[in-house]
Each structure stands twice: as C-alpha cells, then as structure tokens.
Structure 1
Amino acid sequence: MESQQQSGSVIPFIKASDNIPETTIKAIILGIILAIVLAGSNAYLGLKMGQTISASIPAAVISMAVLRLFRNSTILENNIVQTIASAGEVIAASTIFTIPALLVLQYWQTLDYTQITLIAVIGGVLGVLFSVPLRRALIVEGGLKFPEGVATAEVLKAGASNDSDESGSGAGLLVGGAVGASIMKFLQSGFQVMSESVAGWVKIGGTVVGFSSGLSLAMIGAGFIVGLKVAINLLVGTALAWLVIVPLYAFFGGPEAFGLTADASAIDFAMAIKGAKIRYIGVGTMVFGGLYAIANLIKPIKEAVSSSFAAMKMARQGVSQKPVRTEYDIPMTWVIGGTLLLSIPIAMLFNHVMAGANLPISSIAYAATLGFLTVASLVIGFICASIGGYMAGIVGSSANPLSGITIGAILLVSFALIAILGNEVTFGVASKEVLSLAAVVIFIGGVVAAAASLSCDNLQDLKSGQLVGATPWKQQLTLIVGVVAGAAVVAPILQLLFDAYGMAGVFPREGMDPSKALAAPQATLMASVAQGIFEQKLDWALVMIGVGIGVAVMLVDRLILAPRNAEYRLSVLAIALGIYLPMDVTLPLIIGGVVSFMARRSLKKKVASETPETQEKAYLASERKGLLFSAGMIAGDALIGIVLAIPFAAYQSTSVFALVGEDFVQTATILGTIAFAGFAYVLFNLGAKKHTA
C-alpha cells in the first residue's frame, strides 16, 4: 500500500520510510565538478554538430566510481550527483542553441558574460520550477516512459547491487573512450598529423557531385548513441541536400551564379550553393517541423496543464494528505512565488535592450511591449516546458525536438511584436531598432529554450529518482545548483571557443580558417528566422521549398509508414537537420548509427537460442557498454577541443602545435581515416559482444 502512495504503482529501490544520506557535501561537490566539465564538453559538441548528448548515465557511472572510494556512499548520493551534473550539461546546450545567434545578427561583436549568465540562470530556474507541477501530471499520473530516466535508474541500481563490478567496468570504458579520443583529437587538431575530414568532389556533366565526412570520434559516438532511427532521417536529409538539390542548382546555375569564376573547384562550388540555397531550404523544413511538432502536442499540453492546476487546487483545498518522503515536492507557493520573482530580472533585461535601441515609440507602446515580453517569457516558457516534458517522456531528452519548439516561440513572439509596434516601427529594412527587436526575440528564445530543456532534464532525473527512491524536493533544489554551476562557465567557454574557431561564419579576426569554424546550426537558424521576419528579407521561395519538403515527409510518414506500424518512421525535424548541417557533420553521425545497428544485429544472432529474458539482459549490457565508450569518446574529443582553444585563441592561430605542412595532407587523411575506422570497429565489437554485466 505504501508503495502505491509513494509513486503510483512503482515500488522504489529505497523505501520511503528509509532515510539514508542523499544531499551530502561530497555528492554536491562532485556534482558541481561534473556539471562544469559536462557543460564545457556539451557546449563544444552542440556548436560543432548541432546535437548534444544526455549526461545522466555517464555522470552516474563516474559518480559510482568516485564515491565508492568513500565509506558508506549510497545510491541516492549517486542520483544527486547525476542530477546536478545533467543540469549543468543541459543549461549549456540550451545556451549554445540560441545565444550565438546574437553574433550572427551582429548585435554583439563579443559575448556578454552578464547577460548570458542571467539568461541561463533565469531560464534554468524557471524550468526547474515549471517541472514541479509537471512531475505529478507526467510521471506519477501520466504513466509516460521517460526512457533515459529509466535507463539511469537501472545503472544506479545495478551499481548499488554490485558496486565494484558495475562502476569499475563502466568507469574503465568511459576513461578508455575518453583517452583514445583525446589522443586522436590532439593528433588531428594539435599536431595535425591526422586529418579531421575526408572529402571528394568532382565536376561531371555541368554539375558537381561528391561527399565529405568528418573524422570526429565525438560524432561517431553520438551517432552510436542516437541509433539507426535518427541516422536514417539524417541520411534522407543529407541525400536530399547534397545528392539532389546541390547538383540541380549546379547544373542550372553554374559557378558564376554563385559569385564564383568558371574555373572554381568542385568543392568551392558545392559549398557556395550550400550557403546560398540549402540554408534557407533547411530553415523552411525546420520551421514546419517545429510547428508540426507543436500541433501534434495540443491535446497532451492541455492534459498536462490541466493536471498541474488540478494538483495545485487539491493542495490549496487540503484534499491531499501530507505526502511521504518520495512524493514531497517543492511547495507550490514557492513555485508561484519564485516564478513571479523571476519576472523582475526578465523585465529588467528586456528594458535594458529596448532602452539601448532608442525605439521611436510612445511610452504606452513601450510599456505594453515590455509587459508583453515579460509575460510571454513566463507563459510561453511554461507551455514549451510542458511540451518538452511530455515529449521527453515519450522519446527521451536527446531526441526531443526542442529546437523546433524554440523556433515556434520565436515565430509567435516576432509576429506579436510586429502587431504591437507595426504602426510605430518601420519593419522591412535593416535598422538599429529592428536589430534590437530581433535580439529581444533571441533573448526570449534563450529563456524558453533553457526552461524547456531543464524541464525535460528535471523530469528525466525525477523519473530516475522515483525508481530509486529519491526525495523529489531535494532533487529539485540540487538541480538549481547544477543550473548555476553550468551557467557560471558557459559564457567564458563560448567566448573561448569563438576566439579560437569562430562560429556560424562569424570570426573575431581576419585570416581565420573557415573549415575550423563551429557551425552552431540552431543559433544560425534562430537568427535567420528572427531577422528574416523583421527585415522581411527571408528568401521565401527557398523557405517554401523547405516547407514543401516537410509536408511531403509528414504525408509519407502519416499515410504510408504509420498505418503499417513501420519500425523506422520519418521525422521532419531530423530530416531538416540533415538538410541544414554540413555533410561532414551528418555522415559520421550516420556511420555511428549504422555501426550501432550492425552490432545489435550481430548480437541477435549470437543469442538467438537464449531465453527472451537472457536476450534482453544481453542487449541491455551490450548497449550500456557501447553507450559508455561512446560517451567517453564524446567527452575526450570535446574537452581536448576546449583545451586547444586556449593556445589557439592566445596565439590567434590553429597551427600552434602543427608538426607537418600542407604537403602532408594526403598522408594525414589516410591516417585519420584508418584511426576513425579503428574506433568504429571497437564500437562494433563492444555492441556485438555478449556481455554478462
């Protein structure tokens, strides 16, 4: 009966009546350290490839390995560590998906530490507060799966049941992947004796065809984690962009149409088409995908919001009894009070931006705009947190289309501002006023993205906590600790990466290598949408082509694949990402997904004669091994990228440690390809081998 009260129909690993150490000093300190490290690695990864990876499981494994060095460490301490660490990682992800747009817009020439930190903290804390009522609606009563939360809980429980084996072997895989990737990354970016990419483009029959693939271990590791379903969608988008659209534009346009000479190289021709055409087509597909995702979630949003307010009403009326330890949340009075309190710095931030623009509007219009922006941040933030939380319960956090949700918010706010200020501000031209309004929209996008991301992450962590028997209010408060830790370091990390590599085609100085630049695809997209709407300069023909592609994908999925219950479905947002991202980013992701599929298929053959229970254990064990090694590769690659950014920025050159010259390029490409293939083979073996734990 008690278990029913504790967590619906869930029996937690630690009973509600048991009070064991949870929010200890060592757990909080370790969580903060991991939050900072994972925030840095995810910032680099997200800027480079437009995809971030959930840090909960790697953080849980590291925590088990470290805390077992202390006497009497508990599963709840390990859960607190991964809770704090994942919050830092998520706040970095939400920031890098939006804030670099201010560089793209040229609103900022350099990054503003105070404003970035403020946006991250405000949005992150809002996300934590919003997730409090959503916990009961989506986890306790909603019955959603929250796959990453369940997986993290299984790792924690396995570690608690067999501490030395689980945490020791898991930490070994993490360290092995990190060390291997660190060495290769330094050989690629530091000594430059291995290439970071391989490409081959040729002119044939008046057009261009070819390929380019990055040789990043972070990206193949990320591809292994997200799996074949995402890889297939990326492949569809990549093929559409580079094997259909680029050759067609090349055939009918010629190099001169893209500002090149007739003798331009095939790869320069292809890249010019990508910059001039593919970008806007990708915008159209992604905008449609975001709106389509929101439309599909209208009913779930209503249910989630209704359940949240029903729970609040019951609490006010005193209908519900005092909850047991495993059901005790932050009080709703704190949630409401905290949300209202955060409206003050939100209003101050928007007032600062608007005042600096000297908008030629009346005081009434100014006050109305400021009030709208403040309220919109809270209301849209809660709606997006509800959407994101519901989606996280279905597909997990890593596959959650938060960029689409944020784009939807940016569109809504942009059109609302045009309606409010249309008679007082001249839209359709580039001006300081229009630029400032575009920046305001990006600021709102940053708050919304942080709130939605933290809500998703918090709900995954709370699901994990529900299964292991954690105390919800302690998790919720320590999440705020993780938010502050991540927010404190994300701005200097962004500045360091910008100074070393450049972002989204924007560089801090002349003479920098464009091939080294971090793509920041989501931020570029946000800037394109906001600026395009206000200045009315979006190439709507190309955008509508992208929308048409999105509609076609949606129809194929709903009319053909869905009725057949197809195992592999089409995702408009994932295909849009394949169109938008450079091929040297998407191909290694696709390769990683294919390696994951091939490993699983090989393992299935090996355990075909086993019982279903034994088969499932083998699948979970092998998947965990591959996931941990992949997470290690991601961390190693990303952290070396950040470490190298320091001397690169200081010396204003990415060739500080180069041991070879341009005549070594061909050999470096061969060496890089061989090493990349070697790590892919290791990943395959880990996933295909029958593990016992």
Structure 2
Amino acid sequence: MSQPAAVPQLTVRAVVLSVVLAMILAAANTYLGLFAGLTIATAIPAAVVSMAVLRLLGGGSILENNIVQTGASAGSSIAAGVIFTIPALIILEYWQDFRYSWVLAIAGLGGLLGVLFSVPLRRTMIVEEPLAFPEGKAAAEVLKAGENPGPGVKILAMAGALGAFVKLAAESGMRLIPDTAAGGAFFGKWIGYIGTNLSPALLGVGYIVGLNVGIVVLSGSILSWHIAIPAYYAWFQDSDPTFAARLATMTDATPIAFAIWSAKVRYLGVGAMLIGGVWTLFSLRKSLLSGIRSGIAAARKGTNADVPETERDLPMKWMLIALVIFVLPLGALYQAIVGNWAVSIPMTIIMIVAGFLFVSVSGYLAGLVGSSNNPVSGITIATILFASLVLMLLLGKASTIGPVAAIMIGAVVCCAAAVGGDNLQDLKAGYLVGATPWKQQVMLAIGAFSCALVMAPVLNLLAAAYGIGAPTPEHPNSLAAPQAMLMASVARGLFGGDLPWTMIGLGAVVGAFVIALDEWLKSRKSSFRVPVLGAAIGIYLPLELMVPIFLGGLLAHVVERYHGVVNGSEEDKDRVHRPGTLFSAGLITGEALTGILIAIPIVVSQRADVLSVGLHLGMWVGLGVLAFTGWLLYRVATKPHSEGTPPLATPNRH
C-alpha cells in the first residue's frame, strides 16, 4: 500500500468525471451487449482517460484516478445486469417500452444492493484470506504505471474515430456500405448460407477474447448454420406442417435459412445454455459454498470502527438501514406486479436471500477467475429457475404473470451480482494502492445509480431505432439480446409456454457433449478449452456475428506469433497485447456510441433512412473497410510501444 490515506480521493472533479464516464460506458455496453451478447470491462479504459483528463486539470493523485475507475467500472456491471434480464419483459410482451421508473428501480436499487451485500465480504476475501482478483491487480498496475497515459489515450481516440466512422457509413447511417456481406444458395434439397458482419467492434471483441474463444463461438455457429439448418430443411420440415407451409411461400435461400434458425434451430442454443449454466454452478459448487460461507462469516463479524483509514468500510448499522430503505421500494414494485401480498412478500424474500448468496458467490468467483469469466448469466438462470418453481406453487403453472415476476426477481439479483463482483475487484485495486474502502464503496454506489439513470432512455432509443429480440418486418436486423431472450424462454417455458422442447432437449445433449469434451481436454491439461456457454452463444446467434469475432481472435494469435509469446506466460501475452486491446476497446466504444447517436434522428424523424446519402458502395467496399481495420489493428499491436501503455481487462463473457 504505497499511498497515505490523506491523499485526496473522493474529490468533486473525480466524482463528476467518474459519473460521466460511467454513463457513457454503460450506454456503449448496452448497445454492444444487445448486439453481440458481450460486454467489455470499463475500469481500465476509464483509468487511462482519467489520468489524461486529470493531468490536463493540473494533475491527479493515484487515489483520485482509482476513484474514477471505481465508479466508471459500474458502466459494464449495470449494463450487463440490465440487458441480460430487463429486455425479457419486452420479449414477453409485458411491456411495450422500457418504463423509466421501473428500470431505474430495478437497476439502481439492484446495483446499490450489490454494493451493500459486497461490503462485508471485503475483509474476508481481500484482507484475511486474500483471493487473486486478477483484474483488480491489473487495474492497480495500470494506476501505478500511469506516468504517461498519452499513448494509450491516442490509441483509444484513433480507434474510436474509426469505429464511429464505419458505423456512420453503415446501413443504419449513411448507407454507404452494408452491415453484412452474406448470401445463401440451394444445393439440391440442401440449403447453404455464409456471411460475415462488417462491424469493427466485433473484430475488436474477437481480438480481446482471443483465438480459443473465437474458435469455440464460430464452431457453435457452424453447427447451427452449416449442419442443423441444412439438415432440418432437407429432412425434418414435415415434423411441423404449419411451419413447412410457411417455408413453401419463400423462394430465396437466405430468408429460409433465417426462418429455420429463428423458429427452430436457435433453441438448440437455449438448451445448451441451460445445461451450461447448471453445469457451471455444479462444477464450481465447492467455490460457491466457500463464497457463501465467507459472506455469512463476514456479515456476522461486522466492522471495527477502530481501524486505519485504509481498512475502514461503510458502517454496518448504516448499511442495514440502507438495506431496508432499498428493499421496501422493490417489495412495493413486486406488489404492483402481482397484486397479492401473499406472493409479493415471498418474492421480496427470495430476492434478498438470492441477492446476498449470489453476490457472495459472484465476489468469490471474481476473486478466483476474474469478473470477465464470472458466470453471471448462469447465476441469473439459477435464480429464475428457483423463483419460477416457488411462484408456480403460489400462482399456478398457468399463471400469465408468473414469468414476469420471475424475471423481475432475476433482474435485481443479476444487477446485484454483477455489481458485487465488480466492487470487490475495485476494492482489491484500492487495497493495493492504499485507498480508503468506504470512499470506493460510496463512489461505486454513485456510479451504479448514475448508470441506472440512463438505462431506460438508451434502451428505448435502441428499441425504437433498431428493435430488440426476434426480427420483425419493421426491424429485420434487430438487436438480438441473446441472454434476455434466453431468460424469457426459460421463464415462459416453465409456466406452460409453447416452446420447441425437442430442440431444447437436443441442445442440452449438445451442451452435455461439449462439457464432456471440455472435461477431457482439462484432464489432458490442454491449453485449448471448449467453454460450453461460449459454444452455446455461437449456436444461438447468427453466423455473421461470430465470423468477425473469430477473425479478431485469429489476429490476436498472429500478433502473439509476431512477438514470439504463443507459448509464453499470461503476463507476456498481456504485455504484447496492451496496444491492440486498447485499440480494440476504442473500436467497440466508438461504434457503440455512434450507434446510439444515430438512433436519435431515426426516432425523431420516424425514418430508418434519414441519414442516407443515396450512394451505396457495395459489399466489397465494406469487406475492404473491415480488412483495413484489421490491418491497422495489426500495425498498432506490432509497433514498438512504451512499456507504460496499460493493459486492458478481458470482456465480461457472462
């Protein structure tokens, strides 16, 4: 702990800068998560920007920069908690739009509960029995090595401008280039489809996640689009005469392939994700129990007021008061949904118990494997499954409000778990640089609630401009929202919904095979692994989204070969990837923010082509732009650079 506690930390300028960055990065992650099913960690890009901005304002201490990255990191956790669950209420047709007060209550109060539940875990998980918290350590190293943030900011700005320009030129903007380069064809009684999205952001996502994950997600898509869809078209159309009659009205291969994927094959991914979520929790059962025990033990101990400033948490009595204050509005929200206190009170109890237990679990897993690999979606599935079973006993299997009530519980728990794991990562970084814990906890609470303030407007804007969920005639290229679609399918299916259970069952078998393959690779101590949730996402999403992710991962592998660290340590790989990962983060942020800005004139004018310039340069120009982006990323990643250029944490692969 290198800094005295007297150094300014929770300053006005640090709070303002943190809130601004948190809102911006939350909006960007909302777009990215709905589009590609992934979010990126925001703490380290925020730290780089903070160091540059505070330097322009006369210089900032390491503890001020730590406060900024602490609050800004809420951008990814709140966005993940919201987009994994709340769009399910639109998909279930319970809402027609995102209600501001309800989204604010779920996201804001859920995030605040995540902060409160994680406070008593700090002493146990960080001080007494310290866990690794790899991303917290990385953030601390960035802060310590932040004497020259200029190169990192330049990389972020250059890549952000490029990502913004390409998004503006694409179909939702000036329509100079298409969003995808794709095509389908018939081969006798078979059907084929191939294509790639032209998004620089997806290329950046692929670079950050690496080749292993890129191969896994693309393999899932190949199974879906090159095996399951052709097989269904050739042999199994007659199993559903109504759907077969619908296909008979189509003449082009591409819409037929998408119709089969939308109505049938993507549910293979649902089955694989369900079995994957259950397996993830089962395989980590010892760690989960340890996390729960740590949380209960820490809560019993309370906090000691006679401790140094660098060890002082929020007072326990004020936490308990805040807990009651935050829970009461959520209980009232649940009552407004079901209209029965005999149901809303158990809902509130489930939310509190599941929230504390899963924040403990999330914190423990973040300490073991990092927030990026924390299976928050698996935790949320488990919450929705348990809540649905309890609600079925209270409301009946035929209840129409049951799925909505289960999603509402899962949404609060998901936000709390995502924020809780993220909070402990930040507290680990603060512990290593000598920060005051209670000041970080206050800043994360401010950051989380600030992000919640913008979530509903951003979601409504994106829904109006692009659509969310399954494609419709009005929004043929809607944002897929894969996790929310999954949560809606689980909740609706348990309450007697009409789902293709055969496909879901086959998907579960596929997931079990992937799990067995991964366990075999693990037993052989292979460096290549097959995470089942990654494969399931590949099955569930369109092929063209996975291709650029694979290409980005392949590019990262080429960079490793260039630097000679393919078989090197993780530290060596992190070092050589620092410029490339910053460039990738810039591509993602620039494209995502531009996508949100473009939505404004579309919604105001009620015209999807409002920005069109009447000139279409075609698919090959779009492919050329993607190739140029990849070449530029390679040049930045292989150019000699300062050792001070900070690393970037990997994305939140929930």
Q: Please give the TM-score of this superposition, normalised by the length of structure 1.
A: 0.88
SS of 1:455 mapped into structure 2: helix
Residue correspondence of structure 1 range 293-304 to structure 2 within 5 A:
293-304=280-291
Contact 2:391-2:406 at 8 Å conserved across structures: no
Contact 1:600-1:688 at 8 Å conserved across structures: no
Instruction: Confirm whether residue 680 of structure 1 aligns to residue 630 of structure 2.
Output: yes
Instruction: Confirm whether residue 504 of structure 1 aligns to residue 478 of structure 2.
Output: no
Alpha-carbon shift at residue 325 of structure 1 (Å): 2.2
SS of 1:231 mapped into structure 2: helix
Post-superposition CA distance 1:230-269 (Å, at most 9, x none): 2122122112111211111111135972612266211111
SS of 1:330 mapped into structure 2: coil
In 2, distance between residues paired with 1:263 and 1:88? Answer: 43
Q: 1:619 to 1:300 in 2, by over 3 A?
A: closer
Instruction: Quote the residue 1:361 is aligned against.
Output: none
Aligned with residue 216 of structure 2, among 225, 228, 233: 233
Instruction: Confirm whether residue 647 of structure 1 aligns to residue 636 of structure 2.
Output: no
SS of 1:144 mapped into structure 2: coil
Alpha-carbon shift at residue 110 of structure 1 (Å): 1.8
Instruction: Confirm whether residue 495 of structure 1 aligns to residue 463 of structure 2.
Output: no
Alpha-carbon shift at residue 690 of structure 1 (Å): 4.1
Contact 1:223-1:588 at 8 Å conserved across structures: yes
User: Please, which moves more after superposition, 145-154 or 624-633?
Assistant: 145-154
Instruction: Quote the residue 2:489 is aligned against.
Output: 528
- What residue ranges of structure 1 are gaps of 5+ in the alignment? 1-11, 356-365, 429-433
Q: 1:651 to 1:453 in 2, by over 3 A?
A: same
Instruction: Quote the residue 1:207 is aligned against.
Output: 190
- What residue ranges of structure 2 are gaps of 5+ in the alignment? 644-654
In 1, distance between residues paired with 2:359 and 2:297? Answer: 18
Aligned with residue 590 of structure 1, among 550, 570, 573: 550
Post-superposition CA distance 1:373-422 (Å, at most 9, x none): 00100111122222222222233223322112111111111111112333
In 2, distance between residues paired with 1:617 and 1:399? Answer: 18
Q: Which amino acid aligns with 2:606?
A: Q
User: Please, which moves more after superposition, 679-688 or 546-555?
Assistant: 679-688
Instruction: Confirm whether residue 625 of structure 1 aligns to residue 579 of structure 2.
Output: yes
Aligned with residue 559 of structure 2, among 554, 576, 599: 599
Instruction: Quote the residue 1:193 is aligned against.
Output: 176
In 1, distance between residues paired with 2:305 and 2:481? Answer: 49
Post-superposition CA distance 1:266-302 (Å, at most 9, x none): 1111101101112221111111111111112322222
Aligned with residue 129 of structure 1, among 116, 130, 147: 116
RMSD (Å), alpha carbons: 2.1
User: Please, which moves more after superposition, 639-648 or 368-377?
Assistant: 368-377
Instruction: Quote the residue 2:418 is aligned against.
Output: 453
Q: 1:300 to 1:75 in 2, by over 3 A?
A: same
Q: Percent identity?
A: 42
Instruction: Quote the residue 2:427 is aligned against.
Output: 462
Instruction: Quote the residue 2:26 is aligned against.
Output: 39
Post-superposition CA distance 1:303-337 (Å, at most 9, x none): 22222333343447xxx683322221112333333
In 2, distance between residues paired with 1:586 and 1:50? Answer: 11
Instruction: Confirm whether residue 307 of structure 1 aligns to residue 294 of structure 2.
Output: yes
Q: 1:622 to 1:225 in 2, by over 3 A?
A: same
Post-superposition CA distance 1:188-215 (Å, at most 9, x none): 1321112211112211131112212111
Contact 2:120-2:302 at 8 Å conserved across structures: no
Post-superposition CA distance 1:54-102 (Å, at most 9, x none): 0011100000010001224101111111111111332122112211111
Contact 1:146-1:394 at 8 Å conserved across structures: yes
Aligned with residue 308 of structure 2, among 299, 302, 324: 324
Contact 1:280-1:546 at 8 Å conserved across structures: yes
Q: 1:183 to 1:536 in 2, by over 3 A?
A: closer
Instruction: Quote the residue 2:476 is aligned against.
Output: 514
Alpha-carbon shift at residue 229 of structure 1 (Å): 2.7
Alpha-carbon shift at residue 453 of structure 1 (Å): 0.6
Instruction: Confirm whether residue 383 of structure 1 aligns to residue 367 of structure 2.
Output: no
In 2, distance between residues paired with 1:108 and 1:205? Answer: 44
Aligned with residue 382 of structure 2, among 408, 420, 444: 408
In 2, distance between residues paired with 1:326 and 1:292? Answer: 39
Contact 1:125-1:480 at 8 Å conserved across structures: yes
In 2, distance between residues paired with 1:113 and 1:506? Answer: 24
Instruction: Quote the residue 2:619 is aligned against.
Output: 669
Instruction: Confirm whether residue 13 of structure 1 aligns to residue 2 of structure 2.
Output: yes
User: Please, which moves more after superposition, 205-214 or 480-489?
Assistant: 205-214
In 1, distance between residues paired with 2:83 and 2:321? Answer: 29
SS of 1:260 mapped into structure 2: helix
Q: Which amino acid aligns with 1:247?
A: P
Alpha-carbon shift at residue 645 of structure 1 (Å): 0.1
Post-superposition CA distance 1:121-166 (Å, at most 9, x none): 111001111111222333234433222222211111110xxx2x3x
Post-superposition CA distance 1:603-642 (Å, at most 9, x none): 117x99xxx9xx9876444322111111111111001100
Residue correspondence of structure 1 range 412-491 to structure 2 within 5 A:
412-422=386-396, 427-428=397-398, 434-491=399-456
Q: 1:462 to 1:229 in 2, by over 3 A?
A: farther
Instruction: Quote the residue 2:159 is aligned against.
Output: 177
Instruction: Quote the residue 1:278 is aligned against.
Output: 265
Contact 2:33-2:83 at 8 Å conserved across structures: yes
In 1, distance between residues paired with 2:570 and 2:496? Answer: 55
In 1, distance between residues paired with 2:545 and 2:620? Answer: 19
In 1, distance between residues paired with 2:419 and 2:315? Answer: 19
Q: 1:48 to 1:496 in 2, by over 3 A?
A: same
SS of 2:60 mapped into structure 1: coil
Contact 2:211-2:554 at 8 Å conserved across structures: yes
In 2, distance between residues paired with 1:459 and 1:248? Answer: 47
In 1, distance between residues paired with 2:123 and 2:219? Answer: 38
In 2, distance between residues paired with 1:128 and 1:346? Answer: 16
Q: Which amino acid aligns with 1:561?
A: L
Q: 1:258 to 1:216 in 2, by over 3 A?
A: farther
In 2, distance between residues paired with 1:379 and 1:229? Answer: 36
Q: Which amino acid aligns with 1:571?
A: P
Q: Which amino acid aligns with 1:323?
A: V
Residue correspondence of structure 1 range 239-388 to structure 2 within 5 A:
239-253=222-236, 257=244, 259-261=246-248, 264-315=251-302, 322-355=306-339, 366-388=340-362
Alpha-carbon shift at residue 536 of structure 1 (Å): 4.1
User: Please, which moves more after superposition, 495-504 or 254-263?
Assistant: 254-263
Q: Which amino acid aligns with 2:488?
A: A
Contact 2:380-2:413 at 8 Å conserved across structures: yes
In 2, distance between residues paired with 1:506 and 1:657? Answer: 22
Q: 1:593 to 1:13 in 2, by over 3 A?
A: farther
Instruction: Quote the residue 2:202 is aligned against.
Output: 219
Instruction: Confirm whether residue 544 of structure 1 aligns to residue 505 of structure 2.
Output: yes
Contact 1:103-1:506 at 8 Å conserved across structures: no
